[in-house]
Structure 1
Amino acid sequence: MPQTPAPAQAPVPGAWEELVTSALLGTERRTPPGHAPGRAAPTALLDAAAVETVRRRAGLRPARSAERLEPAPEDPRPPLPAAAARRLTMLLADRPGTAGGGRRGTAPDLMELLPQWLAAANARGFAAPPQTLPALLDAARGRTDLRPATLTFAGPRALWLARLNPDWRFALRAAPGGGAALPRPEDTARVRQLWEEGLFAERVALLAALRARDAAGARELLASTWPTERAEDRLMFLDSLRTGLGPQDEPFLERALADRSRNVRATAAELLSALPGSALAARMAARALTCVSVDRTGAAPAIVVEAPHECDADMERDGVVPKPPAGRGERSWWFGQLVEAAPLGTWPARLGGRTPEEIVALPVADDWQSELHAAWCRAAVRQRDAGWARALLGSPTAPEAGGPGAVSLAERAKLLGTLNAGERAEWVAGFIATHGLSEAFQLLGMCAVPWAAPLGRAVVDALNIARDAGSYPWSFSGVMGLAERCLDPSEAGRLDGLLAIPDETEDASPGAGGYWAEAFQRLVTTLRLRAAMTEELGAP
């Protein structure tokens, strides 16, 4: 007669926790439950753990299976050439060195070349190799400046991956609608639905896209919900009007001058002052003209300033901020805002028909020159007035590096942005030839890449002069880094003569010659690498 199997023992509540505690403390201090202490205790613990593991696994209830993932979308763009794909892998695998003393050696900094490589690949319309997408997203996660170019290059598959990894969620935030395609402008029903129901980021992206193609339509869409928007949202939406800003935007911006939010009012006033023909610009010009005149009673004509004595309600409505920052006087603060917002075309008639160059050259009485010239600089940048920018920049070979009057290097850098790329490069080249590199870093950052030939030659010549003078090479590390990324690769041949270690003079910094030779070797190697990168990607 067959024996009836004994019923399985019911699991003891907390048995697994007891076993874990015994394992952590040791069987000499804590005997497994139901077992005697001694030499057999460790074996008994393992046996009990094995039995309990089987019981725990057998007791699991089957869960509902997850939905199958949708396949990653296809990327219709052409694949990278094989050599370019290998180069991308090398760029992504590079990690900045940690050598002490600031010494980088002769190896190029590949991660600093990645932005340039991405821009070139995007210009040629290539798709990213699928196997590089995780490394691309990791690189963009660590460097926000890489994100726009990286996400363009990575394409729709990067967004598909970003939905699976929380570390890459920045890609979804950067893409409108989390990667969903924006409706076409002619699809008015979908545009209206997304504008009324979409997330804030989606609405910002939609408004920017519409503004680029249909400025009036975007403005009308914004006006339709303007009164019900939050103040911080109104500010962001208003900023989109900078694209394609024109006289037809004036009525909407005039209404925004009465907005509840001070920041919205200030932005509306700034946009209106960028329209020289606007009513606000005329009002600001009338106020500014009462503050500035020419005094002809002295030996030579001079500009006289009488700053406003109060900031009235109308001035506040037109964007003048009444309370100055710490350390600024009220009258000079109000005066600067009036001049900044006044159309630059109004000054020649007020100041005796003089040209901008002649106006800037006039002396300014009572120490008002700094405030007046700085305000004219801001006006030239805001109004994109190249004529006034040239006058305020002055000659790059002027003895004073600060420019005519009171124009600082920071202001000159902004003024350069109003000139075309060729003129900008020529001006900075002249500045470097006269003043060297110590004050040129900000100015170089405003120049188009690759640098034009005259600018490249000026930078190389100035570096050579600094080397021969025995200067510390690490004092020029910022310019050298710019040169690695911005110098035209065709200039590499001109640098071969600088690779040798120069003879050190008595007053030279110890070891400077070796550092300079190393820095020039790295520059040459980087330029030749950039040339190879361009060749691997092929013609645009």
Structure 2
Amino acid sequence: MIRTSAPVEAPAAGAWEELVTTALLGTDRRRPPGGAGREAPVALLDAAALQTVRRRAGLRPAPAAGRPEPAPADPRPPLPAAAARRLALLLADRPGTGGGGRRGTAPDLMELLPQWLAAANAHGYAPAPQALPALLDAARGRTDLRPAVLAFAGPRALWLARLNPDWRFALRAAPGGSASLPGPEDTDRIRRLWEEGLFAERVALLAAMRARSPAAARELLAGTWAAERAEDRLMFLDSLRTGLAPEDEPFLEQALADRSRNVRATAAELLSALPGSALAARMAVRAGACVAVDHTRGTPTIVVEAPHECDASMERDGVVPRPPTGRGERSWWLGQLLDASPLDTWSGRLGGRDPREIVALPVADDWQGDLHAAWCRAAVRQRDARWARALLGPPASPGAGGPGAVSLAERAKLLGTLDAGERAEWVAGFIAAHGLSEAFQLLGVCAVPWSAPLGRAVVDALNIARDAGSYPWSFSGVMGLAERCLDPAEASRLDALMAVPDETEDTSPGAGGYWAEAFQRLVTTLRLRSAMARELDPAQPG
């Protein structure tokens, strides 16, 4: 004889999982909260409805407390209706799961979201309140979106973030996110927030003050410097990059004696970015003793005598004594001295030559790679366009770049010192001479939308690769960049490329269909970007 157990009372908390269990077992075997007998099914449905509302609410269930303050007003104009609908579509998109490198012809909407946010912020629009949760969820999953999302979402997003732990990143990422920043005239509140605030609040306060009053921010930091933890000192010191000026030198010189090696290294890096600093002068003397021109050879040649030791004064100035694995000590020390030396000193040291002439000189004893790589890093650190041009060389030069750029990453950094027009012109020349196989990293530093010459160079190179029967999936990264960066006005020039090309014996199987899909997706995306721009600026012509 089989006995059935008597109904048991479900927990009063009524958690969703308990309700599901009760529904599966049946209300005759498991009693729902607030009901029994014939009333049990109704009570179960009532409890499920209540839990559904709680699960959908923006605030998790908790003991009753005082009502939160109303959300602050957002004075910005609302999005145009078409742009609001477009935002909802962009936020609802999910990356496809297709394999084999084929994405079809549909645009990747999530990849267009950063561009849409930048345009919306440029117009000064405010989002509809109902869009804020989806915006915060998108920023939670993609840290690269956070600055643009928080700027667009405005003060109401921070209000929401204080109510939902999942969105607390917004309080850390937004200046003053967890507390309204005091104005520059409110010195008492500034001092109280700096001395009593949470770490994220203090970082936000220092960053905001550094942007509007560098000297006041530096004085605030100096007042508590000795009592700060080493990791906090490092973070605070990094904020001095904003508005770095010769007036910061005395404070940074004191930081060179810090007990933390990382703090000392950061202080030395900041001082080396000030060509007129005493540290830069000391480094120039040390580096100058290591590099000279030998005129006794048939051709003037640079000779290098790397340091034989790393003394205490070098360590104090930020030279790290122990090299990484696989790197020789002397070349490691030499590189650090050259990194921190003002580039303007080399003309006088090396016979009055300009940067192009210096870079063109032969270097004895296989020191050229170390020497030019260090000059690359110094040009990037000091934002010296003249040296960057010399080290890059002509874009069509043999090999893959100029004599000093030993890697694509360094060439990309050197390009970052040039203005947007010159940068695009150099990369267009590089693509015309060398194709797209090494251009992806260089394209990433070019301003969006790409200039007409750069856009034409990319499209022409893609077309040449297609006609040559090249393996198509190796160009998917460049094609994805083109979708986001090519000027939408170029769409009309691409119509002829959307047809499936004839396949030859040398063509990769299925390549023609892939190329046709890729160009169709490119054209569709460009037209979509054009429509997005018109939706955000209804005054634009159709």
Superposition TM-score, scaled by structure 1 size: 0.89
TM-fit CA distance, 1:161: 2.1
1:193 alignment counterpart: 192
Q: Distance in 1 between matches of 2:154 and 2:489?
A: 32
TM-fit CA distance, 1:43: 6.6
Question: Bigger shift: 441-450 or 152-161?
Answer: 152-161
1:72 alignment counterpart: 71
| Structure 2 unpaired stretches of 5+ | 1-6, 12-17, 44-61
Identity %: 81
Change (3 A) 1:198 1:179: closer
1:442 alignment counterpart: 441
TM-fit CA distance, 1:180: 2.6
RMSD: 2.5
| Structure 1 unpaired stretches of 5+ | 1-13, 28-41, 58-62
The answer on whether the counterparts of 2:380 and 2:414 sit within 8 Å (CA) in structure 1 is yes
Change (3 A) 1:17 1:84: closer
1:310 alignment counterpart: 309
2:3 alignment counterpart: none
The answer on whether the counterparts of 2:482 and 2:522 sit within 8 Å (CA) in structure 1 is yes
Amino acid at match of 2:92: A
Q: Distance in 1 between matches of 2:244 and 2:403?
A: 31
Residue 419 (structure 1) aligned with residue 418 (structure 2) = yes
TM-fit CA distance, 1:148: 1.1
1:459 alignment counterpart: 458
The answer on whether the counterparts of 2:147 and 2:174 sit within 8 Å (CA) in structure 1 is no
Q: Distance in 2 between matches of 1:497 and 1:406?
A: 38
TM-fit CA distance, 1:152: 1.2
Q: Distance in 1 between matches of 2:314 and 2:93?
A: 55
Change (3 A) 1:89 1:17: closer
TM-fit CA distance, 1:179: 4.0
Q: 1:350-389 maps to which residues of 2 (within 5 A)?
A: 350-389=349-388
The answer on whether the counterparts of 2:379 and 2:387 sit within 8 Å (CA) in structure 1 is yes
Residue 159 (structure 1) aligned with residue 158 (structure 2) = yes
Change (3 A) 1:405 1:168: closer
TM-fit CA distance, 1:185: 1.3
Residue 50 (structure 1) aligned with residue 49 (structure 2) = no
Change (3 A) 1:505 1:158: same
SS at match of 1:303: strand
TM-fit CA distance, 1:207: 1.0
TM-fit CA distance, 1:67: 2.1
Q: How big is each residue's C-alpha offset from its partner over 1:289-309, in whole Å with a ceiling of 9 and x where there is no partner?
A: 110111122211111000000
Question: Bigger shift: 264-273 or 189-198?
Answer: 189-198
The answer on whether the counterparts of 2:293 and 2:303 sit within 8 Å (CA) in structure 1 is yes
SS at match of 2:100: helix
Q: Distance in 2 between matches of 1:519 and 1:64?
A: 55
SS at match of 2:303: strand
Q: Distance in 1 between matches of 2:96 and 2:396?
A: 39
2:53 alignment counterpart: none
Q: How big is each residue's C-alpha offset from its partner over 1:78-110, in whole Å with a ceiling of 9 and x where there is no partner?
A: 000011111111111111111121211000000
The answer on whether the counterparts of 2:335 and 2:374 sit within 8 Å (CA) in structure 1 is yes
Specify the structure having the higher radius of gyration (Cα). 1
SS at match of 2:365: helix
1:85 alignment counterpart: 84
Q: Distance in 2 between matches of 1:64 and 1:288?
A: 67
Change (3 A) 1:341 1:517: same
The answer on whether the counterparts of 1:332 and 1:371 sit within 8 Å (CA) in structure 2 is yes
Amino acid at match of 2:525: T
SS at match of 1:269: helix
Amino acid at match of 1:310: E
The answer on whether the counterparts of 1:281 and 1:341 sit within 8 Å (CA) in structure 2 is yes
The answer on whether the counterparts of 2:376 and 2:405 sit within 8 Å (CA) in structure 1 is no
Change (3 A) 1:78 1:402: same
Amino acid at match of 2:497: L
The answer on whether the counterparts of 1:16 and 1:52 sit within 8 Å (CA) in structure 2 is no
TM-fit CA distance, 1:194: 1.0
TM-fit CA distance, 1:45: 8.2
How many pairs are equivalent?
502
Q: Distance in 2 between matches of 1:222 and 1:161?
A: 31
The answer on whether the counterparts of 2:104 and 2:521 sit within 8 Å (CA) in structure 1 is yes
Q: Distance in 2 between matches of 1:43 and 1:432?
A: 75
1:212 alignment counterpart: 211
Q: Distance in 2 between matches of 1:359 and 1:177?
A: 48
The answer on whether the counterparts of 2:9 and 2:30 sit within 8 Å (CA) in structure 1 is no
Change (3 A) 1:122 1:17: closer
Q: Distance in 2 between matches of 1:45 and 1:306?
A: 86
The answer on whether the counterparts of 1:393 and 1:407 sit within 8 Å (CA) in structure 2 is no
Change (3 A) 1:406 1:119: closer
Q: 1:429-508 maps to which residues of 2 (within 5 A)?
A: 429-508=428-507
Q: Distance in 1 between matches of 2:391 and 2:404?
A: 8
Q: Distance in 1 between matches of 2:120 and 2:81?
A: 13
Q: Distance in 2 between matches of 1:129 and 1:349?
A: 61
SS at match of 2:479: helix
The answer on whether the counterparts of 1:270 and 1:319 sit within 8 Å (CA) in structure 2 is yes
Q: How big is each residue's C-alpha offset from its partner over 1:46-94, in whole Å with a ceiling of 9 and x where there is no partner?
A: 799827999xx9xxxxx98432333222211100001111111111111
Q: Distance in 2 between matches of 1:134 and 1:276?
A: 47
Superposition TM-score, scaled by structure 2 size: 0.88
The answer on whether the counterparts of 2:350 and 2:358 sit within 8 Å (CA) in structure 1 is yes
Q: How big is each residue's C-alpha offset from its partner over 1:202-222, in whole Å with a ceiling of 9 and x where there is no partner?
A: 111111111111111111111
Q: How big is each residue's C-alpha offset from its partner over 1:489-533, in whole Å with a ceiling of 9 and x where there is no partner?
A: 001111111111111121011111111011000000000000010
The answer on whether the counterparts of 2:380 and 2:413 sit within 8 Å (CA) in structure 1 is yes
Q: Distance in 1 between matches of 2:133 and 2:379?
A: 45
